[in-house]
Amino acid sequence: MSLQNQPAGVRLIVLYKGTKAVAEVTLALVLFALAASGELSTLRELSVQLREHLASRWSLIVGRGLAALTSERGVHLLQLGLTLDGVLSAVEGWSLWRGHRWGRWLVVIATATPLPLELVEIVRSHRPSRAVLALVNVAVVAYLAFDLRRHERRAR
């Protein structure tokens, strides 16, 4: 099934997941360049920005990890985390784009799992940007869960 045959909601989710994947992998590459040039102070400033402006649980972990960076090992672990999450987002988007039924399940599980922790962080931080991104993730999960249920009913 091609992307054009997918509902508009799925196409939007593919765009979101693709954008997220590119952003995370790009950030990992930027971190690699900064670490290679010895710019740990720039990394610490970046950590503050991540903590204040990103909503997902993973970005909070990234922000905290980045703030605690004191070694090259820490930078490499952060790069690995960003890269792996970027790859997961790319696989999620690809699986939806290709129309794989398991892709919907993958996105629902991968997106819903950190939501309770994201909501706790929103309550603690009161940051609108975090709330907006959490709402996007809730919308993704709700839409795909509804879509999966609709497909199950049709199959019966």
Q: How far apart are CA 39 and CA 43, in angstroms?
A: 7
Q: How far apart are CA 101 and CA 108, in angstroms?
A: 12
* pLDDT of 14: 95
* pLDDT of 56: 58
Model confidence at 65, pLDDT cuts 50, 70, 90, reads low
19-26 long-range contacts, Cβ below 8 Å, gap at least 24?
Answer: 20/86, 20/89, 21/86, 21/87, 21/89, 21/90, 21/93, 22/86, 23/86, 24/82, 24/83, 24/85, 24/86, 24/89, 25/82, 25/83, 25/86, 25/87
- Residue 111 confidence (pLDDT) above 70: yes
- Residue 1 confidence (pLDDT) above 60: no
For 46: left if phi > 0, alpha if psi spans -120 to 50, otherwise beta; the answer is alpha
Instruction: Report the pLDDT averaged over residues 29-50.
Output: 73
Q: How many CB atoms lie within 10 A of CB 30?
A: 15
* pLDDT of 67: 60
Instruction: Report the pLDDT averaged over residues 5-28.
Output: 91
Q: How far apart are CA 151 and CA 156, in angstroms?
A: 9
Instruction: Report the pLDDT averaged over residues 19-30.
Output: 91
Task: Write down the mean pLDDT value for the chain.
Answer: 82
* pLDDT of 51: 58
Residue 74 or residue 83, greater confidence: 83
- Residue 109 confidence (pLDDT) above 50: yes
Angle at 32 between CA 28 and CA 35, to 5 degrees: 130
* pLDDT of 32: 82
